[in-house]
Amino acid sequence: MKIRSSIALAALAASSLVATAASADIGFFAAVQLCRNAAPGKTLISIETRVRSGAWVYEGDLYSNPVAVKTTPRLNSNTGAILQIKNEAASAAEVAEVQAVLALLDTATIDFMDAVEIANNAAQQEATERAKLEIEHGILAFQVDYFDGTQVDVDAVTGGVIPHHGEGDEIEPTLPATAVLPAITAAELNAGAGWWTIGLETEAEKGGGIVEVLMLNPKSGKLGLATVIGESVTSFVQFTPVGNQAARVARILPALSQIQLDAPGAVAAAEAAYPGAGINEVELAVETEKTGTTVTWKIALVTADLTELDYFVDATTPAGGNGFRFATAPTNFVPGDFNRDGIVNAIDLAELLSAFGFVNPLLDLNGNGLADAADLATVLSNWTQN
């Protein structure tokens, strides 16, 4: 992960002003609420602290929905008193930008205060200059800027810091869609009728364009993992799902009849949204919540300008339809976190033990063909202390 930073000459002067104002400042969080109180019914899109007429103030930008009017309250940073409330017509550029934010706003799970706290922890500082809601590579995000030029982007849906990489950074190797799509076709032809692709991982780090395609046979309930190099299937291993694998299969089976967009279609959608991206992983996800069941494809990718993200597309809508599509910052899991809940614990250990000594490629961490003692050692070495 890389936090974007560019040191501006003005930051040197601003840093001394920050120190002067810090003792009496009402605080960024209080300013957020006061700005919202000053413009009820409008949505806060950005807030910043700045110097006006030699004094520190907070200024917020709030917009009507549909976007037509921008309201900008100005607050005394020491007392929170409203110094001015300015109303003006939103520009054409603002209308387009803010309307795109508002269209995804109901997916947000964190607010300004959460985003600033997350960014402060990532940047290891608290000299916040501005926080703004925006669309970053299709991700609804808070852009948090600091007086020294540091910028941190926080995913408004997951609360994760969006990784922006440079050319020299280590990122997971990926393969282009042009390599992934033929691999899926080859795997499906090799498996034959009755098998559904439900996910894949690219294994470029093992040398060459290796794609491991995960498939499901609804009739037998078995999973199959096809290893494809180029367009040749080098192995196809069938196995009985256990633990979290079995639970996932149980969620997917009733949803298969709803799927109108297959794995190749999902990869093509990701390529259309992010031309030149590298694909790392594809997963069919079925989730049931209070609002109902969603069936989506999650495509983990790295954009052409080296930003990691997970792109989601509705699997129940044909390509080109009005399916729900959005992107989030990626979540990375350590080896041994089989159920992907962010920790390695007794649940993961039980899953490994349930298939111990048997063929199960998803639990075979060292790739020797079995879930065995070597994999157990990896789980224990990555054990999370609670």
| CATH number of the domain where residue 378 is located | 1.10.1330.10
Least confident of 4-18, 127-141, 254-268, 329-343: 4-18
Secondary structure of residue 162 in the 3-state scheme? coil
pLDDT in tens, 291-316: 788 999 999 999 998 888 999 999 99
CA–CA distance, 336 with 356 (Å, rounded to integer): 14
Which residue range forms the structural domain that includes residue 291?
175-328
Kindly state the percentage of the chain with pLDDT values over 70.
Answer: 90
Strand, coil or helix: what is 219? coil
Is there a contact between 316 and 258 (Cβ–Cβ < 8 Å)?
yes
Which residues lie across from 301 on neighbouring strands?
279, 309
β-sheet bridge partners, residue 381: none
Whole-angstrom Cα distance, residue 237 to residue 217? 12
Judgement on whether residues 149 and 271 belong to the same structural domain of the protein: no
Amino acid identity of 364?
D
pLDDT digits (tens, 9 = 90+) for 66-112: 999 999 999 999 999 999 999 999 999 999 999 999 999 998 999 99
Considering only 211-220, 241-250, 291-300, which range has the smallest mean pLDDT? 291-300
Helix, strand and coil percent figures for the chain, each rounded to 5: 30, 35, 35
Of the residues 283, 298, 328, the one at which a domain ends: 328
d(CA 155, CA 174): 22
Residue 341 CA to residue 128 CA, distance in Å, equals: 31
User: Is residue 194 located within the same domain as residue 299?
Assistant: yes
Q: Per-residue pLDDT for 272 more than 80?
A: yes
Cβ–Cβ < 8 Å for 67, 94: yes
Query: Domain check: are 195 and 339 in the same one?
Result: no
Measured in whole angstroms, the distance separating CA 54 from the mean position of its chain's CA atoms is 41
Domain end residue (candidates: 293, 328, 363): 328
Q: In the chain, where does DSSP find H-type helix? A: 10-21, 28-38, 92-104, 112-123, 177-191, 243-252, 263-273, 346-354, 373-381
Half-sphere exposure of 123 (CA within 13 A, CB side): 26
Q: Residue 213 above 90 pLDDT?
A: yes
pLDDT band at 22 (very low <50, low <70, confident <90, very high): very low
Minimal CA–CA distance to 137: which of 118, 156, 110?
Answer: 156
How far are the Cα atoms of 176, 243, 306, 342, 344 from residue 386, in angstroms, in the given order?
Answer: 39, 22, 34, 12, 10
Residue 107 to residues 101, 158, 161, 251, 319, Cα–Cα distance (Å): 10, 10, 17, 23, 22
pLDDT in tens, 73-82: 999 999 999 9
Q: What is the identity of the amino acid at 199?
A: G
| pLDDT, mean over the chain | 88
DSSP tag of 371: -
Over pLDDT 90: what percentage of the chain?
Answer: 63
Residues 190 and 70 in one domain: no
Domain co-membership, 37 together with 110: yes
Q: How many domains are there within the chain?
A: 3
Asked if 314 and 351 sit in the same domain, the reply is no
User: How much is the average pLDDT of 249-258?
Assistant: 95
* Per-residue model confidence as pLDDT tens digits over 154-172: 999 999 998 877 655 667 7
Q: Give the integer Cα–Cα distance in Å for 383 and 377.
A: 10
Strands 325-328, 175-176: pairing kind:
unpaired
Distances (CA, A) of 287 to 250, 290, 291: 11, 10, 10
Residue 161 lies in a domain: no
Q: Are residues 281 and 361 in the same domain?
A: no
36 and 65 in a common domain:
yes
pLDDT band at 208 (very low <50, low <70, confident <90, very high): low
**373 & 345 share domain:** yes
- Determine contact, residues 154/136, Cβ cutoff 8 Å: no
Sign of CA dihedral 123, 126, 127, 130: positive
pLDDT tops 50 at residue 365: yes
Q: Which of 3-12, 150-159, 237-246, 308-317 has the lowest mean pLDDT?
A: 3-12
Q: Which of 19, 5, 305 is nearest to 144 (CA)?
A: 5
> What's the confidence (pLDDT) of residue 386?
56
- Asked if residues 17 and 56 have their Cβ atoms less than 8 Å apart, the reply is yes
Decide if pLDDT at 13 tops 70. Answer: no
Q: What is the pLDDT of residue 206?
A: 53
